[in-house]
Chains A and B, each alone.
Chain A
């Protein structure tokens, strides 16, 4: 039977199941197949903080959404075209996101009376007409898998567990994905358990063949590769890109990297990744707590290392005093905050942009810190290098604000070569800098950058003491002199204000838009996708995205004032808007949702449209 192949320009698939069903792995593999096929893509994992919530319940549902296309895309997509629901809970939790006409592939075996009851279904939705507005494919995934694995010497439980590979096989056929890499992946993953490896490959193949032979699926789809610019690509998540960016920063600064970190969701993967790269001389230190993590990093920085600490919001709160110490001792330090929903523990696996004001102001005293926010998962690489550049050049702690969406989301990344990366090295100070030629003044500043010398232990003749107590300008000796304190407060502020930050670029295709939509951090994708939609609808909108939150680009006031209206969507209650209103006296229009999820492009397109039309 030859089946019909339909061309599509893009597809959004959401794999959903129980936390133990392996949905993240299934999504990762489908993503890897899609990446190697050459589509552009963007992913959104969404999982509970509980490692294994009670099976079959709504809180236990874990999902992975993948958007892939034959053109460049900016977001993991608003609404899935296909939902793979491994159990009733997965169906119930995700159905409201599913537009009419979308495909549902449901694992019929799991729609038992007991499982239905657990989530409040009185009647099996696969059997009544309640799903009539969608295209339902009710497939007994578990029993088909078990049957396909009859010949293997494995337990029934192990056979059942392979159902995610059956589902992956089926989806791989449905969208014409290359399968070799997945087979190789399974063989490597279960190298020590050959029978499990063979059975998982068999389940995967059975799913693929099921799609090809059964009449339940009459059409398969083709999504052509996207025309990306020439180069080597890999699919990368934000946390991975950030970790590689830190390795690159270490190499490009010629400084040994020291990471002091305490495990915390959603930042731990950066610690895991950096721990693998000891060949680069990277020391990773899992500290006893958040404070020790940043303390050790600062101690290493005093010793001449590129000191880094990685955490999420609750950790930043704990590190605040030490960051203040780094501000006043003027040592380089990178503080990575992978923001998550707060306050307090909040929702650890959900995303938010609510730490901006804490990053800027969450310390005692006048304590200015540069803040940088990456825009996309792969941009985390460049943002990490930029954070290191500023930290080293200006001898200051730098806050790098990623978030849960960037951390776990992924996209294709055009891999740079080392030759393309900037040299961010700054030599240590090795000679006395006093006028007499013999004394060393640890707080005598560079006239251009206002950075103080970085003289590290082991350097003869430059022995000096630094600390948290106010220092006399120049000598760094303890000083309680009122005028000296006023001077030092202003000098530290002036140093940060003077950081060389590139101008804010505005994307305005026709050059005559009257509405500017501004964003920062991870909202780049949805905002840019929304702006495209609005323009496709014949309207004009300019778009700009802030990477540097402190100091702001020098031209930002001018940019803001050159539009009739400035719209600023944020996943907080208007933190950047507050700053811009205060600093530039511009009446920013805020759009805020704090749902632990990224914005949807359609949602923002509607908001932009409204602002344009209200002119």
Chain B
């Protein structure tokens, strides 16, 4: 158990009395994603993970926007709010800021979070409200049937870009680190064990956690992450991020580059001391940002895991503190006193 897993993220959420099982978290609704969709794996992973948190199911809320992934709350037997396109972080902010006793999860996709809802996402991250944002990134618009998304690679041929897309994609991890998010991680739909470990840390983090989940859309963008799943390639490409461990796999290693960023080199070309040791708690986001740039150009070497986990006071906590301070300084509000405040005069 790493030092950040101290339950702080859920400290104010009431604990469940009995033991919960996966079944408790399954709603009675029929799941209606396309057969083979990566969302099934993520749903199953989340449902099987939730009992582990040991919090009351009724104090758990899933909030989503619009898109395939955003149907997620209907399938969780918790409180849920399927809202409108891009706005889930805003709605969840109001909920989490006014109810510190809830564990609030935002389910969003690359279009929902990074296009129409980009503004809400970056502001949620900078504010650090106690939210867990799961960003299902499939690099395509699925629900509207296959237009390119803000994470699609340049030149993507889709219905709306028959000659190839022109705009450079966002890297969600870079964006989140740039907004100085306290917790930023990447995982993959097909790796349940890793997904669980990341969710565990995200839930434990008090503040906004952003978890990018590479998710396969087998209808409109099949095999987008195939190299990361291919047994022959994945170990060569993937760079597992583990706190306190050198960032390297069998063939590749990460070191500081003369440019000020990071670079990936052949592992046997450098001495072990030169390999960058991962520090998720580094308060300076520069290295986390540099790590997020390593998958450029696409998929030569892809860091997976927790990029950054830095504690700072959460917005909801600070907001509650101000209310408490106001009461401590001047006592609880008295309506008659308030209404009759200011310059008053009396007529007899």
Cβ-based interface call for A157 (8 A):
no
Pick the contact of B91 from A278, A296, A415 — CB < 8 Å? A296
Q: Mark B72-91, 1 if CB is under 8 A from A, else 0.
A: 01101111111110010011
Cβ-based interface call for A54 (8 A):
no
In chain A, what residue has the closest Cβ to B342?
A234
Pick the contact of B94 from A232, A288, A296 — CB < 8 Å? A296
- CB of B347 within 8 A of CB of A278, answer no
Bound-complex Cα distance A287 to B91 (A): 11
Task: Give the interface centre of B98, B99, B346 by most chain A CB atoms within 10 Å.
Answer: B98
What is the count of residue pairs linking A and B with beta-carbon distances less than 8 angstroms?
208
Q: How far is the CB of A224 from chain B (nearest CB, A)?
A: 13
- CB of A277 within 8 A of CB of B344, answer no
Cβ-based interface call for B336 (8 A):
yes
List of A residues within 8 angstroms of B81 by Cβ: 299, 302, 329, 465-467
- CB of A295 within 8 A of CB of B74, answer no
List of B residues within 8 angstroms of A234 by Cβ: 340-345
Cβ-based interface call for A497 (8 A):
no
Cβ-based interface call for A220 (8 A):
no
User: Given A32-B343, A278-B323, A296-B90, does the pair A302, B95 have CB atoms closer than 8 Å?
Assistant: yes
List of A residues within 8 angstroms of B327 by Cβ: 278-279
**Interface residue count on the B side (C-beta < 8 Å):** 61
**Interface residue count on the A side (C-beta < 8 Å):** 71
- CB of B93 within 8 A of CB of A292, answer yes
- CB of A457 within 8 A of CB of B59, answer yes
Pick the contact of A228 from B76, B340, B342, B347 — CB < 8 Å? B347
Bound-complex Cα distance A299 to B81 (A): 9
Bound-complex Cα distance A258 to B58 (A): 22
Bound-complex Cα distance A248 to B78 (A): 33
- CB of B323 within 8 A of CB of A325, answer no
Q: How far is the CB of A304 from chain B (nearest CB, A)?
A: 7
List of A residues within 8 angstroms of B340 by Cβ: 232, 234, 415
Q: How far is the CB of A295 from chain B (nearest CB, A)?
A: 3
Bound-complex Cα distance A35 to B343 (A): 9
User: Given A35-B345, A233-B346, A457-B59, does the pair A307, B94 have CB atoms closer than 8 Å?
Assistant: yes
In chain A, what residue has the closest Cβ to B324?
A278
Within residues 268 to 295 of chain A, which ones have a CB less than 8 A from any CB in chain B?
A: 277-283, 285, 287-289, 291-292, 295
The prevalent SS among residues of B at the interface is mixed
List of A residues within 8 angstroms of B73 by Cβ: 465, 467
- CB of B87 within 8 A of CB of A291, answer yes
- CB of A299 within 8 A of CB of B343, answer no
- CB of B120 within 8 A of CB of A292, answer yes
Q: Mark B51-86, 1 if CB is under 8 A from A, else 0.
A: 000001111110100100000011011111111100
Cβ-based interface call for B260 (8 A):
no
Cβ-based interface call for B27 (8 A):
yes
In chain B, what residue has the closest Cβ to A281?
B323
List of B residues within 8 angstroms of A324 by Cβ: 84
Cβ-based interface call for B297 (8 A):
no
- CB of A297 within 8 A of CB of B99, answer no
- CB of B335 within 8 A of CB of A247, answer yes
Bound-complex Cα distance A295 to B81 (A): 12
Cβ-based interface call for A478 (8 A):
yes
- CB of B347 within 8 A of CB of A38, answer yes
Q: Mark B87-112, 1 if CB is under 8 A from A, else 0.
A: 10011111111110110000000000
Cβ-based interface call for A101 (8 A):
no
Within residues 466 to 502 of chain A, which ones have a CB less than 8 A from any CB in chain B?
A: 466-469, 477-478
Q: How far is the CB of A293 from chain B (nearest CB, A)?
A: 8
Q: How far is the CB of A30 from chain B (nearest CB, A)?
A: 13
Bound-complex Cα distance A297 to B95 (A): 8
User: Given A289-B119, A468-B84, does the pair A298, B94 have CB atoms closer than 8 Å?
Assistant: yes
List of A residues within 8 angstroms of B92 by Cβ: 299
- CB of B335 within 8 A of CB of A457, answer no
Pick the contact of A321 from B84, B120, B346 — CB < 8 Å? B84
Cβ-based interface call for B22 (8 A):
no
Within residues 98 to 157 of chain B, which ones have a CB less than 8 A from any CB in chain A?
A: 98-99, 101-102, 119-120, 123
- CB of B98 within 8 A of CB of A463, answer no
- CB of B346 within 8 A of CB of A296, answer no
Cβ-based interface call for B219 (8 A):
no
Cβ-based interface call for A251 (8 A):
yes
Q: Please name the 5 residue pairs, one residue from A and one from B, whose CB atoms are nearest each other, closest first.
A: A467-B82, A296-B94, A299-B94, A295-B90, A280-B333
Q: What are 28 A-to-B residue pairs whose CB atoms are below 8 Å?
A: A36-B343, A231-B346, A248-B335, A260-B94, A277-B338, A278-B325, A279-B323, A282-B323, A292-B87, A295-B83, A296-B93, A299-B90, A300-B97, A302-B91, A302-B95, A304-B99, A305-B94, A415-B339, A417-B339, A457-B58, A457-B95, A458-B59, A463-B78, A465-B80, A466-B80, A466-B81, A466-B82, A467-B83
Interface residues of A (CB under 8 A from B): 32, 35-36, 38, 181, 228-236, 244, 247-248, 251, 256, 258, 260, 277-283, 285, 287-289, 291-292, 295-305, 307, 321-322, 324-325, 329, 415-418, 421, 457-469, 477-478
